[in-house]
Amino acid sequence: MTRPSLVSAHRDPFVIHIESEMVYANDPCLALVGGQTPDAVIGRSVSAFVAEPFYQPLAEQFEQLSTQQADALGLSVEIEPLDRPPHECVIMSSPVEWDGKRAIQSTFLDVSADATDEPVFTRAMNAAPIGISIADATDDDTPLIYVSDGFCRITGYGRSDVVGRNCRFLQGPDTRPEPVAAMREAIAAEEPVTVTLRNYRVDGTMFWNRVTITPVANTAGEVTHFLGYQEDVSQQKLYEHEKTLFEKQADAAPYAMFITDRSGSIEYVNPAFEELTGYTAAEALGENPRILKSNQQDDSFYDELWETITAGETWEDELVNRTKSGELFRVQQTIVPIQNADGEITHFAAIERDISETAFTDQVLDVINRILRHNLRTSINVIDGYATLLEETLEGSDEIAAAAAISDRTRRLETLSEKTTHIRNLMERRSEKQLVDLPTIINYIDQCRRNHPEAAISLTNTVTDDIAIKNGSLLQLAIEESIENSVIHNDDGQPRIEITFSQSTDPPQLCIEIADNGSGIPQTEWDVITANQETPLQHSSGIGLWLIYWSITSLGGTVDLTRHGSYGSVLTYRLPVVDAPNSDS
Ligand SMILES: Cc1cc2nc3c(=O)[nH]c(=O)nc-3n(C[C@H](O)[C@H](O)[C@H](O)COP(=O)(O)O)c2cc1C
pLDDT tens readout for residues 19-61: 889 998 888 888 888 777 888 888 888 888 888 888 888 888 8
Does ligand 1 lie within 6 Å of residue 211's CB atom? yes
Q: CA neighbours within 13 Å on the CB side: how many for 559?
A: 26
Q: What span, in angstroms and rounded, lies between the C-alpha atoms of 574 and 509?
A: 6
Q: What is the mean pLDDT of residues 531-558?
A: 74
SS3 105: strand
For β-strands 496-505 and 456-461, DSSP reports them as parallel
**231 falls in which pLDDT band (50, 70, 90)?**
very high
Q: Which of 67-81, 225-239, 348-362, 463-477 has the lowest mean pLDDT?
A: 67-81
Does ligand 1 lie within 6 Å of residue 154's CB atom? no
pLDDT at 342: 76
Q: What span, in angstroms and rounded, lies between the C-alpha atoms of 199 and 133?
A: 15
Q: Which of 4-13, 343-352, 472-481 has the lowest mean pLDDT?
A: 4-13
**Helix 523-530 and helix 544-554, axial crossing angle in degrees, nearest 10:** 40
| pLDDT over threshold 80, residue 12 | no
Cβ-based neighbour number of residue 509 at 10 Å: 20
**4 falls in which pLDDT band (50, 70, 90)?**
very low
Sign of the torsion angle spanned by Cα atoms 250, 254, 258, 259: negative
Mean pLDDT score across all residues of the chain: 85
For β-strands 21-25 and 131-136, DSSP reports them as unpaired
Q: What is the CA radius of gyration of the chain?
A: 40
| pLDDT over threshold 80, residue 513 | yes
Q: What letter does residue 38 receive in the DSSP assignment?
A: H
Q: What span, in angstroms and rounded, lies between the C-alpha atoms of 583 and 306?
A: 44
Ligand 1 centroid to Cα of residue 126, in Å, is 20
Does ligand 1 lie within 6 Å of residue 435's CB atom? no
Report whether 529 contacts 545 (CB < 8 A): yes
Q: What span, in angstroms and rounded, lies between the C-alpha atoms of 479 and 348?
A: 46
Which of 151, 163, 183 gets mutated to test ligand 1 (max ligand atoms within 8 A of its CB)? 183
Report whether 500 contacts 513 (CB < 8 A): yes
Contacts for 307 with CB less than 8 Å, ≥ 6 apart: none
Does ligand 1 lie within 6 Å of residue 155's CB atom? no
Q: CA neighbours within 13 Å on the CB side: how many for 66?
A: 14
Ligand 1 centroid to Cα of residue 78, in Å, is 37
Q: Which atom of ligand 1 is nearest to the CA of 134?
A: 1
**415 falls in which pLDDT band (50, 70, 90)?**
confident
Sign of the torsion angle spanned by Cα atoms 535, 539, 543, 547: negative
pLDDT at 1: 33
Cβ-based neighbour number of residue 547 at 10 Å: 23
219 sits in which H/E element: none
Q: Which residue pairs, CB below 8 angstroms and at least 24 apart, start in 300-307? A: 305/335
Does ligand 1 lie within 6 Å of residue 230's CB atom? yes
Burial of 24 (0-12, 13-18, 19+ CB in 10 A): buried
Contacts for 24 with CB less than 8 Å, ≥ 6 apart: 3, 7, 15, 16, 38, 42, 98
Report whether 54 contacts 31 (CB < 8 A): no
Q: What span, in angstroms and rounded, lies between the C-alpha atoms of 90 and 103?
A: 19
Tell me how far apart the 2 most distant CA atoms of the chain are, in Å: 132
If you count them, how many residues does the chain have?
A: 585
pLDDT at 585: 42
